[in-house]
Structure 1
Amino acid sequence: MAPNEVDRTIHPHTTGAAADTAAAHQAEKPLKLYAGWFCPFVQRTWITLNEKKIDYQYIEINPYHKDPEFLKLNPRGLVPTLGVPVPAPTTSVNTNGNSNDTDTMNNPTKKDRKLKPIYESIVIAEYLDEHYSDTTAHGPRLLPSGDDSLAAYERARCRLWIDHISSRIVPAFYRFLQHTPEKDDSYTIQDARDELLKQTKVFTQQLLELDAEREELGLAAGPWFLGEQFSLVDITLIPWALRLFLIDHYKPGGVGIPEKGNGGEDEEVWGRWRTWYEKVQERDSVMCTMSERSKYIEVYQRYAEDKTGSQVGQATRGGRSMP
Structure 2
Amino acid sequence: MAGPNEVDRTIHSHTTGAAAETAAAHQSEKPLKLYAGWFCPFVQRTWITLNEKNIDYQYIEINPYHKDPDFLKLNPRGLVPTLGVPVPAPVTSANANGDSNDDVTNNASAKKERKLKPIYESIVIAEYLDEHYSDTTKHGPRLLPSGDDSLAAYERARCRLWIDHISSRIVPAFYRFIQHTPEKDGQYTIDDAREELLKQMKVFFQEVIDLDGEREEMGQASGPWFLGKRFSLVDVTLIPWALRLFLIDHYKPSGVGIPEEGKGGEDEEVWRRWRGWFGKVRERDSVMSTMSAREKYIEVYQRYAEDKTGSQVGQATRGGKSMP
TM-score tier, shorter chain, comes to over 0.9
* Alignment correspondent of 1:141: 142
Deviation at residue 6 of structure 1 after TM alignment: 1.3
Deviation at residue 138 of structure 1 after TM alignment: 0.1
User: By percentage of residues, which structure has more helix?
Assistant: 2
Deviation at residue 211 of structure 1 after TM alignment: 8.4
Q: What is the rounded CA distance, in whole Å, between the counterparts of 1:216 and 1:141 in structure 2?
A: 23
Q: What is the rounded CA distance, in whole Å, between the counterparts of 1:258 and 1:206 in structure 2?
A: 19
C-alpha distance after superposition, 1:141-178 (max 9, x if no partner): 00000011111110000000000000000000000000
* Alignment correspondent of 1:162: 163
CA 262–8 in structure 1, closer or farther in 2 if over 3 Å, else same: same
C-alpha distance after superposition, 1:243-270 (max 9, x if no partner): 0000000000100000001101110110
Deviation at residue 181 of structure 1 after TM alignment: 2.2
* Alignment correspondent of 2:89: 88
AA matched with 2:137: T
Structure 1 segment 199-238 matched on structure 2, within 5 A: 199-209=200-210, 212-238=213-239
Q: What is the rounded CA distance, in whole Å, between the counterparts of 1:122 and 1:161 in structure 2?
A: 12
CA 24–210 in structure 1, closer or farther in 2 if over 3 Å, else same: farther
* Alignment correspondent of 2:54: 53
Q: What is the rounded CA distance, in whole Å, between the counterparts of 1:206 and 1:224 in structure 2?
A: 11
Q: What is the rounded CA distance, in whole Å, between the counterparts of 1:91 and 1:60 in structure 2?
A: 36
* Alignment correspondent of 1:41: 42
Report SS of the residue matched to 2:210.
Answer: helix
Report SS of the residue matched to 1:114.
Answer: strand
Tell me whether 1:287 sits opposite 2:320 in the alignment. no
Deviation at residue 183 of structure 1 after TM alignment: 4.8
Structure 1 segment 107-126 matched on structure 2, within 5 A: 111-126=112-127
AA matched with 1:241: A
C-alpha distance after superposition, 1:75-103 (max 9, x if no partner): 000000000000112178x9xxxxxxxxx
Deviation at residue 214 of structure 1 after TM alignment: 3.2
Report SS of the residue matched to 2:207.
Answer: helix
Contact 1:32 1:57 in 2 (8 A): yes
Deviation at residue 4 of structure 1 after TM alignment: 1.3
Report SS of the residue matched to 2:263.
Answer: coil
Question: Structure 2: any 5+ residue segments left out of the alignment?
Answer: 97-110
Deviation at residue 209 of structure 1 after TM alignment: 1.0
Structure 1 segment 65-76 matched on structure 2, within 5 A: 65-76=66-77
CA 214–185 in structure 1, closer or farther in 2 if over 3 Å, else same: same
Deviation at residue 3 of structure 1 after TM alignment: 1.1
Aligned length: 308
Contact 1:12 1:62 in 2 (8 A): yes
Tell me whether 1:259 sits opposite 2:246 in the alignment. no
CA 171–63 in structure 1, closer or farther in 2 if over 3 Å, else same: same
Larger radius of gyration: 2
Deviation at residue 5 of structure 1 after TM alignment: 1.3
C-alpha distance after superposition, 1:84-135 (max 9, x if no partner): 000112178x9xxxxxxxxxxxxxxx74100000000000000000000000
CA 210–44 in structure 1, closer or farther in 2 if over 3 Å, else same: farther
Report SS of the residue matched to 1:116.
Answer: strand
Report SS of the residue matched to 1:21.
Answer: helix
C-alpha distance after superposition, 1:293-317 (max 9, x if no partner): 1000000000000000100000000
AA matched with 2:319: G
C-alpha distance after superposition, 1:47-98 (max 9, x if no partner): 0000000000000000111001000000000000000000112178x9xxxx
AA matched with 1:156: A
CA 316–91 in structure 1, closer or farther in 2 if over 3 Å, else same: farther
* Alignment correspondent of 2:309: 308
Contact 2:210 2:222 in 1 (8 A): no
* Alignment correspondent of 2:299: 298
Report SS of the residue matched to 2:182.
Answer: coil
AA matched with 1:282: E
Tell me whether 1:175 sits opposite 2:182 in the alignment. no
Contact 1:46 1:289 in 2 (8 A): yes
Contact 2:162 2:234 in 1 (8 A): yes
Q: What is the rounded CA distance, in whole Å, between the counterparts of 2:76 and 2:16 in structure 1?
A: 28
C-alpha distance after superposition, 1:173-224 (max 9, x if no partner): 0000000122562000000000000000000000111783333345432100
Report SS of the residue matched to 1:201.
Answer: helix
Contact 2:145 2:152 in 1 (8 A): yes
Report SS of the residue matched to 1:182.
Answer: helix
Contact 1:31 1:56 in 2 (8 A): yes
